[in-house]
Structure 1
Amino acid sequence: MKKLLIALLSISAIGVAIAQTEVEGVSHQSHEIDDGMLEQTDLEKAENAGVAQAEQYNPGGIGGVHSLRGVSELEATRAADDFKKYPREQALSSDYVYQPPLIPHNIRGYEVSLNANKCLACHSWKNAKEMGATKVSVTHYVSREDAVLADVSPRRYFCLQCHVPQANAKPLVENEFKRVDSLQ
């Protein structure tokens, strides 16, 4: 809270300096002095002082905001984390009733678009047995009007709306979620 208050005061000081320079008619451009160097105007000095003070009191980033990405500045790009290992040939248990099954394999490069659905190459009723994959649920063949369809319903076509890959990775934030008693 203290850091936030200091940052707000710094911003206020910059605003006051801007207002004073405009009232006094101070030029916003730097003035050239004898040795070829540029002299800062009062406005530029106030802006630089405010930025320096904000950086001093908020080392974690702009406004003291911290990110799950670590200590990198929020605007900066950092290297992506390594890919997590996916459990192979292992069904992942559910934590609550009607939970969409988790995907126990990597899906990098899978196209799921208006034109193609790579998931259905293995999980469709036609291919599941041959591929050794779990069949798409019968609920995916029912329209919103409860009509049974010959193919996957458009509202269930984009698998990644509900199904997500699950890796054994360290949680980014603490999680105290408890699975439903009936599933323990």
Structure 2
Amino acid sequence: MAIAAGLLLFVATAAIAQVVTQTPPQLEGPTPPMATDAAAPLPKWVVDDQRKMRAYPDQPPIIPHSIEGYELSVNANRCLSCHKREFTQDSGAPMISVTHYMTREGQMLADVSPRRYFCTACHVPQADTRPLVPNGFRDMSEMGVKPAGSE
């Protein structure tokens, strides 16, 4: 009798556990799921052609001009028509880094490396928006470090 009562209790507990559904933790904020809010206005692009300070060491430079309508495909790269080594003197644009002419192994190439061909994979236009997170980056010169040989 005790075994039957224990077995009945076990089966009842298992059945109740399957029926009772747990509510998963809510992952979104106060907006209910599937609600539509008005989209924020698109930010204005910074197109003043002024080179900006980098936000952190080794940051790829941002694009200080409009690239709307630029073709960037396997067959064409409009960026290179101004920034490629042989065109910078006439265009006045800064030359792309010599690292863009190297393979992964450091071998120099005569033309831009295929892995560096799609510029917007690293370089982006700058929008006039406030930062999402505060940036406390300080350049070494601001921290009192003098360039080598300046003593």
Measured against the shorter chain, the TM-score band is 0.5 to 0.7
* Amino acid in the other structure paired with 1:73: T
2:134 match: 176
1:123 match: 83
Q: Deviations over 1:56-110 (max 9, x none)?
A: xx972317xxxxxxxx617xxx667345141413111112221111111111111
Q: Deviations over 1:30-63 (max 9, x none)?
A: xxxxxxxxxxxxxxxxxxxxxxxxxxxx972317
1:62 match: 33
TM-score (norm 2): 0.65
TM-score (norm 1): 0.54
User: C-alpha root-mean-square deviation of aligned residues, in Å?
Assistant: 2.5
Deviation at 1:161, TM superposition (A): 1.1
Name segments (4+ residues, structure 1) moved above 3 Å. none
Q: 1:164 to 1:84 in 2, by over 3 A?
A: same
Deviation at 1:183, TM superposition (A): 5.7
Deviation at 1:165, TM superposition (A): 0.7
> How many residues were matched structurally?
115
Q: 1:180 to 1:150 in 2, by over 3 A?
A: same
Report percent identity of matched pairs.
46
Q: Deviations over 1:100-131 (max 9, x none)?
A: 11111111111211111111011111111211
2:36 to 64, 67, 73: 73
Query: Any idea what SS the aligned residue of 2:31 has?
Result: coil
Query: Any idea what SS the aligned residue of 2:58 has?
Result: coil
User: Higher relative contact order at CA 8 Å, sep ≥6: structure 1 or structure 2?
Assistant: 2
Question: Which has a greater percent of helix?
Answer: 1
